[in-house]
């Protein structure tokens, strides 16, 4: 029966061309939104590589005339802070995580361009953040005064630079004439938060005895149970240690919350738009099909007269739309498959693409069955007698 309906619909493809175009566009739009959400889910569920509980970020804006003494002032401040009863540990960083500010470089390597995000922390910072070391060691005192600066890199960057080879103590070319030595490989550090793409990451060592060191944040690890009321006391202490600096205090959890909520909104809006578009398409198909069925009284009545059961007529109407939908999905797929073939979107793997195609296909098929259901029910109500005195 299906083959027969397919043949009929193939004959009528020109008459149905507008419906086909509509479903093709709907399918492509749905596939785009589903793929986007699928990719987001992938990045969201990839491990962050660090803990964010009980950590506070202090961003500061130093007074211009103090710029030369940032490191000295910060060193004193770190000391004062780590002596507070509420504070377990304190470390500097370029920028706190989750806020979207970062330092980045593009490096030419044998495997093409590598986009690398980096930061620098004082010794012990990675341990405090709960990062995982896979090979080598963390940065420490022994990296002082080396001719080639030491760095630690994440697993992905290690693979990008050295492939499967051993990376420890390897030296690679960095910006201009500088070279860097890898002393450790860590699992990951997704500074920009869950919704940021998984990428290459590199961590330098901050030596507070070096006056040229750059950083704009101090992170403190507070005792569990410390409330936000501690900030008033903290601000006073900070103000005393650096009177002309501006300080901004946020907990990492808070920074993460706003990262997550803005990330969610950025995915919610296209989803709502897609929902409305699908609703429109569904209503549209329902309308078209309804009209279509009313016009076919004669044909459907005749089929009943020749002994077709109500279920068979109903199946015919539903299958007709399903065949059209399948034809449209095939066309839509031919268009959409160009994206993974050309590799425009790197994060979209074939696996994710096919999952998204499956989800979109199921949604569109369900949609068309739902749209065809009511018109098909009407079709079963035609009596052979109606068809016979139609004219």
Q: Which of 54, 73, 82, 292 binds other proteins (CB under 8 A)?
A: 292
**Is 233 a residue that touches other proteins (CB under 8 A)?**
no
**Could you tell me the smallest distance in angstroms from the CB atom of residue 373 to other proteins?**
15
Instruction: Kindly state whether residue 88 participates in binding other proteins, applying the rule CB under 8 A.
Output: no
Of 198 and 331, the one with the shorter C-beta distance to other proteins is 331
Binding other proteins (rule: CB under 8 A), the pick from 1, 232, 338, 346 is 232
Q: Which of 284, 308, 331, 380 binds other proteins (CB under 8 A)?
A: 284
Q: Hey, which residues between 162 and 201 contact other proteins (CB under 8 A)? A: 176
Q: Residue 26, interface with other proteins (CB under 8 A)?
A: yes
Considering only 46-54, 70-78, 128-136, 223-231, which stretch makes contact with other proteins by CB under 8 A?
223-231
Binding residue for other proteins (CB under 8 A) from 283, 311, 354, 383?
283
According to CB under 8 A, which one of 231, 345, 349, 384 is a site residue for other proteins?
A: 231
- Any contact of residue 249 with other proteins (CB under 8 A)? yes
Q: Tokens 């501006």 appear where?
A: 246
Which is nearer to other proteins, 65 or 389 (by Cβ)?
A: 65
Applying CB under 8 A, the span of 5-13, 50-58, 140-148, 245-253 interacting with other proteins comes to 245-253
Q: Which of residues 51-70 bind other proteins (CB under 8 A)?
A: 61, 63-65
Give the shortest CB-63-to-other proteins separation in angstroms: 5
Q: List contacts with other proteins (CB under 8 A).
A: 18-19, 21-22, 25-26, 29, 61, 63-65, 176, 228-229, 231-232, 235, 239, 243-244, 246-249, 265, 273, 276-277, 279-281, 283-284, 286-288, 290-292, 294-295, 391
């Amino acid at each position: 029966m299906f083959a027969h309906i397919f043949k009929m619909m193939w004959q009528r493809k020109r008459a149905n061309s507008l419906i086909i175009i509509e479903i093709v566009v709907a399918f492509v739009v749905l596939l785009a939104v589903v793929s986007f959400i699928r990719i987001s889910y992938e990045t969201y569920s990839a491990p962050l590589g660090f803990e964010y509980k009980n950590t506070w970020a202090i961003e500061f804006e130093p007074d211009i005339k103090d710029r030369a003494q940032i490191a000295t002032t910060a060193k004193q401040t770190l000391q004062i802070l780590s002596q507070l009863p509420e504070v377990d540990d304190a470390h500097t960083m370029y920028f706190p995580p989750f806020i979207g500010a970062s330092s980045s470089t593009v490096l030419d390597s044998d495997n093409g361009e590598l986009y690398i995000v980096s930061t620098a922390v004082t010794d012990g910072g990675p341990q405090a953040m709960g990062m995982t070391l896979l090979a080598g060691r963390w940065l420490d005192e022994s990296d002082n005064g080396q001719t080639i600066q030491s760095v630690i890199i994440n697993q992905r960057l290690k693979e990008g630079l050295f492939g499967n080879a051993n990376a420890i103590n390897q030296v690679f070319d960095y910006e201009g004439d500088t070279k860097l030595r890898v002393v450790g490989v860590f699992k990951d550090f997704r500074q920009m938060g869950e919704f940021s793409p998984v990428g290459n990451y590199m961590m330098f060592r901050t030596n507070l005895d070096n006056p040229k060191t750059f950083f704009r944040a101090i992170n403190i690890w507070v005792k569990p149970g410390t409330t936000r009321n501690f900030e008033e006391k903290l601000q006073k202490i900070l103000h005393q240690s650096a009177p002309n600096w501006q300080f901004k205090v946020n907990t990492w959890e808070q920074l993460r919350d706003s990262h997550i909520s803005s990330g969610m909104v950025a995915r919610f809006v296209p989803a709502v738009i897609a929902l409305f578009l699908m609703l429109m398409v569904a209503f549209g198909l329902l309308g078209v099909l309804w009209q279509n069925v009313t016009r076919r009284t004669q044909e459907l009545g005749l089929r009943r007269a020749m002994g077709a059961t109500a279920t068979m007529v109903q199946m015919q109407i539903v299958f007709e739309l399903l065949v059209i939908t399948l034809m449209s999905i095939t066309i839509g797929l031919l268009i959409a498959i160009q994206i993974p073939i050309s590799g425009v979107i790197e994060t979209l793997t074939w696996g994710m693409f096919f999952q998204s195609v499956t989800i979109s296909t199921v949604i569109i098929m369900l949609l068309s069955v739902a749209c065809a259901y009511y018109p098909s029910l009407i079709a079963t109500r035609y009596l052979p007698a109606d068809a016979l005195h139609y004219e």
